Amino acid sequence: MVILTLNCGSSSAKYQVYDWDTKDVLAVGVVEKVSVGGSFINHKVKGKEEITLNHDCPSHLDAVDLIIKTLTDKEKGCLTDMSAIGAVGHRVTHGGDKFIKSVIVDDTVLAAFNDIADLSPLHNPAQILGLQAAKKVLPTVPHCAVMDTAWHQTMPPESFLYAVPYEWYEKYSVRRYGFHGTSFLYTAKRAAVLLGKDPFKTNLVICHLGNGSSINAVKDGLSFDTSMGITPLEGLIMGSRSGDLDPALPFYMMRKTGMSAAEAESALNKKSGLLGITGQYTDRRDIQKAKEAGDKKALLAQDMEAHRVKKYIGGYIAALGRVDALVFTAGVGEFAFFMREKILAGLEGIGIVYDPKKNKSSHTRNTETLISKPESKIPVYIIPTDEELVMTEDAYALMAGTYDIHTKFTYSFQSKDYVNKGRAESLKGELAKSPELQEIIALPK
């Protein structure tokens, strides 16, 4: 049996095919430029070269249909037919306060997603379209929704409430929801394994740093506080999102320029953050190159981003009282050693002492690494996230009737003996080219 996972964006559809029996990834890919013209699919089957095919996809229904046809193609695919698929897992960014765990999608669940779509206007509408499209193409298998917000439903009121009229919460569900929950669930469970601790006696600060970024304070294995808010706009400086700012600022700019509320919201989501500071870059690699070439705005963008992350790390350490580890994950957290360097520099006063050499050596998605010095009171781990595996295991368990909230459910990756076969194979090639990586591989205690 195989599990298909789908992650639909506004103009893309990512997918993975996982063989449940062999515990291995059979294929991964993405359809880009859905509904905007010039669409194409990047498709990689295990043991074969990656291919790119141009194919017009005016809608997400067309994109999902293209994925199915590619997966079952005799030459390019990995499945003889779709009967092998036992369930489909879908990423849904915002589940509001209605969902505390993953669910099988029916008409009631779809209606709930539509009701709160305005809380995540950049993500939920596309994901709903993808879900509806997949149900049309694969009508006989269970479709499961895995919400980014579900992990954070354990936050206490002092963390999730805003200091606004309380009736806003009662009438309109105004509160902090948090995101990247699937990533935080995976990395929190893996951190407990590496530390050799009971996951529900483990305190962590986890930095999920990518184009979208957030930080999670984990107390006794549960989400205690997080940097994103009612939408993914709050918190850290991101690729094109402003993160924290004076709430009066958009009103000021609306009065000054005459822009509408929709235009102000768009500016804060799509024209701010690193893009707003540099004027042209969202990718940290581009910003690093520009900085090295003497671009002062690129340097400023890096300094501002690192400063914001530092403040959250310090604040969450104070809120938790005891922290067992600091964790970096996601694209920037896993690969951008120069950003980790800026973030970690000067944190000795709060018990974090990183090793510059180890930090520079860690740029991989194929293994977990430890980059702190032995004298560091708080160890610093880099744990490559695996949201697709969480989605896969949730979907399978929902189909099998064995699933429950994570406090009552054990994932395969919580075992000390867990191995990601694809990553383990790729790591062999990495070690041949970069033997110094061996010295920083983190092993369970």
- How far out from the chain centre does Cα 124 lie? 15
SS3 for 246?
coil
Nearest to 27 by CA among 63, 91, 72, 88: 72
Residues paired with 42 in a beta bridge = 30, 52
Pairing mode, if any, of strands 214-219 and 143-147? unpaired
Are the CB atoms for 84 and 27 separated by under 8 Å? Answer: no
Q: CB atoms < 10 A from the CB of 145, how many?
A: 27
Question: CB under 8 Å to 8, separation ≥6 — which residues?
Answer: 14, 60, 63, 90, 91, 126, 127, 129, 130, 131
Question: CB under 8 Å to 195, separation ≥6 — which residues?
Answer: 202, 324, 325, 379, 445
SS3 for 436?
helix
Q: Which of 148, 225, 295, 394 is an active site residue?
A: 148
Active site residue 148: yes
Rounded CA-CA distance 175/158 in Å is 11
Rounded CA-CA distance 188/326 in Å is 10
Rounded CA-CA distance 353/375 in Å is 7
Residues paired with 223 in a beta bridge = 218
Residues tagged active-site: 148
